[in-house]
Amino acid sequence: MIGFAQKIEFVCSDVWKPYLQLIEQHCSQALNILERFHIVAKMNKALDEVRAAEARRLVQLKRKESLTDHQLPDLLRYNLKSVRAYLHTEDFQQF
């Protein structure tokens, strides 16, 4: 006899690990559609972490009297990381 949970075809949940574990355990055949709000929240948190790390790195570079040849590419690369991270979050919004 098939249980009720085994008949479920679609589940919508956030990304909280206990929810995901229960869904996997009881509705493994169902397609789990993750809630957009929580995905965007996690993406925004990751973007904030990239920006904060970048800001810490830029403060270290700023304290120098002048940038060395080695530091300038670092400065440019860190700038691009935050821009790319931001663009990824914007792309996801369109998806």
pLDDT for residue 75: 61
**Do 24 and 44 belong to one domain?**
no
| pTM given for the model | 0.58
DSSP labels, 54-87: HHHHHHHHHTSSS--TTHHHHHHHHHHHHHHHHH
Distance of alpha carbon 36 from alpha carbon 92, whole angstroms: 9
**Do 9 and 50 belong to one domain?**
no
- With both helix axes pointing from N to C terminus, report the angle between 71-94 and 36-62 in degrees, rounded to the nearest 10: 170
Which domain range does residue 14 map to?
A: 4-34
**Do 70 and 29 belong to one domain?**
no
**Do 78 and 53 belong to one domain?**
yes
pLDDT for residue 28: 92
- Per-residue pLDDT, averaged over 5-18, amounts to 92
**Do 29 and 43 belong to one domain?**
no
Q: Do the beta carbons of residue 83 and residue 91 sit within 8 Å?
A: no
**Do 29 and 47 belong to one domain?**
no
Side chain identity, residue 68: T
Q: Do the beta carbons of residue 30 and residue 49 sit within 8 Å?
A: no
- Per-residue pLDDT, averaged over 10-14, amounts to 93
pLDDT tens digit sequence for 15-73: 899 999 999 999 999 999 999 898 999 999 999 998 888 888 777 766 555 656 666 56
